[in-house]
Structure 1
């Protein structure tokens, strides 16, 4: 099977920034700490770091492409599922810092075509999955999945097609983890910036982070050089379509080291204002540990309680987790391409935090 050469979507030439006081990422492939906590057949990448001044230690195992026995390496790219939402939230917060967007203004300011009740919803409510707008995309998928998955429409058109249903609850009243919330987020950004959502993310988050192996997947992504293919327990491919309408919620790919670079940039540079970082780290839905675009979890360690940015993702058989302590940069990343249960990833991440 011939794999296509990967082409990065961004044309931005960003130099890789080294954070003050932080060691460069080392070319390490294993570590006793990681191996103690992983199943022997783990397929993917795991990375750990004691704090922002320490070296990132990376373990890679298993196969990225089983048909050709291509091994996973520390630089293998994986789809990261809903970690995309966290990166999207960082993008929106940057736009709020710039005065382009207001988290608490009605989205009708940018999408006046929406019904009045839907247009009254705010970005804060969308990004905490409390809009009350029904998941029109899910309903459409239930009726004709094949037809919907073939749609090559962007967020604005999708918002006006799937985000117009009569609200099922008042804004801010009820939690609903819905694709449609994030279609609307991307549509607002596109209207405000007058450019594709993907370009805004590339410019405002990815380029400043200095990453080169993170962007948005397109049709055929599983055949790109450097990308892991996802497989189910039977060893069959289990990948997922990545229609452009859902770019804000689950179509990004990345590597372990890139995810750490992004988190370092978010929490240890001036990418966001102090106010925006606080917004990103404030739980809005306590029952779900959910803030804006991701979770905030407190875990017990031998050094005391740690409150972590806890970003998990699942798409097809790709499973991912970024657990990051904004206080000192301690981090655990797990990327997997064999449909590993998210509960098992969470257990391993907590164990690694407790053992560092």
Structure 2
């Protein structure tokens, strides 16, 4: 039995697996005055201009807060200010895919060729997707499955356009190792839309945004967002205007608010909308992560003795084992955005952080520890070489 199947069965059947130390009890949620004070200290220490957070406890949103400014005019960042979701979009998309698998609409382990009318490289290149024609002559694409795409193990670079020659290629046997890839997520979007005839934007609107009352969330730009919109700050303090993304891209086109995305986070950690088995599958370790850090995406694997045994790819998230038991997290980042979602399924607890200033990321480990206690989030893997604020 391969590692993926064994780890999934360990979680689902709770038998035949090595025992782990008993998880620690979760600390109580800090009171709001203490939380506000800690956020203020974090922003002062990092120079961040804007930060929003949400606390989920026992599957319920117990606090949403916003601090600082949303633009260079100094207009306040509010809990209903529209912010860029960045790559947390991928975890929302993964939730949709697991729902479809739960309903029997798609098989996570079926080759994607089953769902396509013609070979993948034969599809005309479109700006909306990637350049699948670059894969002509490499039949390894036929081994790719939805599970492989959700675990970032198709063998792609992050994006084909980042390759030295700008051409998408497969670097290793699909399913054999983890290497973060936005193009892999976009390929799965392509399979749903071209193979199953689904409109991914409409499906996410109906199954997630409408279901959880996420009124100011969309996979495409909406003109009404302009009234209360967050621009961003880059590491050097330069302001970057909010990008009006007009195309649905499952890898990262979502605009949202801290209020809205907190509702999704609470639903996710409750397993709402999924069968118990599907929820277990979503949060199970699927594939060991064998690299020193997440980026660069195509770095060499560590020797077996140096690999972390507490870190694995889940479906659209990263899964880790820490002092409070199993956890999952997903980050989102660009030059002016820093986001992270950390959830602990055992207590159905999460902390969601959305920052419209990338400098706030230096305070993320401290803020997560302040709210959730020691979790075991692999910050050194997520942010290789980064110096963090330690609270002093």
TM-score with structure 1 setting the length: 0.75
Deviations 1:138-182 (Å, cap 9, x if unpaired)?
336x668xxxxxxxxxxxxxxxxx76x3x2211111222112101
Q: 1:46 to 1:85 in 2, by over 3 A?
A: same
Work out which of the residue numbers 318, 328, 343 in structure 2 matches 1:309.
328
Displacement of 1:266 after TM fit?
2.9
For 1:41-190, list aligned pairs within 5 A: 41=44, 42=48, 43-52=50-59, 56-66=62-72, 68-111=73-116, 112-115=118-121, 116-134=139-157, 137-139=160-162, 165=169, 167-190=170-193
1:299–1:350 Cα contact (<8 Å) kept? no
Aligned counterpart, 1:230: 232
User: In structure 2, what is the Cα distance between the partners aligned to 1:333 and 1:249?
Assistant: 19
Q: 1:192 to 1:355 in 2, by over 3 A?
A: same
User: In structure 2, what is the Cα distance between the partners aligned to 1:134 and 1:333?
Assistant: 27
User: In structure 2, what is the Cα distance between the partners aligned to 1:124 and 1:102?
Assistant: 9
Gaps of 5+ in 1: 1-28, 145-161
User: In structure 2, what is the Cα distance between the partners aligned to 1:179 and 1:100?
Assistant: 23
1:107–1:123 Cα contact (<8 Å) kept? yes
Structure 1 stretch displaced more, 101-110 or 279-288: 279-288
Gaps of 5+ in 2: 1-30, 122-138, 290-310, 376-392
Q: 1:219 to 1:238 in 2, by over 3 A?
A: farther
Displacement of 1:284 after TM fit?
2.3
Deviations 1:268-325 (Å, cap 9, x if unpaired)?
354011121111111223335321111123343xxxx142231211123111112222
2:151–2:314 Cα contact (<8 Å) kept? yes
Structure 1 stretch displaced more, 170-179 or 285-294: 285-294
Deviations 1:26-49 (Å, cap 9, x if unpaired)?
xxx953134235424342212224
1:76–1:227 Cα contact (<8 Å) kept? yes
For 1:179-258, list aligned pairs within 5 A: 179-218=182-221, 224-238=226-240, 247-258=249-260
User: In structure 1, what is the Cα distance between the partners aligned to 2:273 and 2:279?
Assistant: 9
TM-score with structure 2 setting the length: 0.68
Could you say what secondary structure the match of 2:120 adopts?
A: coil
Displacement of 1:263 after TM fit?
2.5
Work out which of the residue numbers 343, 346, 350 in structure 2 matches 1:327.
346
Displacement of 1:87 after TM fit?
0.6
Aligned counterpart, 1:344: 363
Work out which of the residue numbers 286, 292, 308 in structure 1 matches 2:315.
292
Q: 1:35 to 1:138 in 2, by over 3 A?
A: farther
User: In structure 1, what is the Cα distance between the partners aligned to 2:211 and 2:252?
Assistant: 21
Aligned counterpart, 1:159: none
Q: 1:117 to 1:241 in 2, by over 3 A?
A: farther
Q: 1:244 to 1:176 in 2, by over 3 A?
A: farther
Displacement of 1:238 after TM fit?
3.0
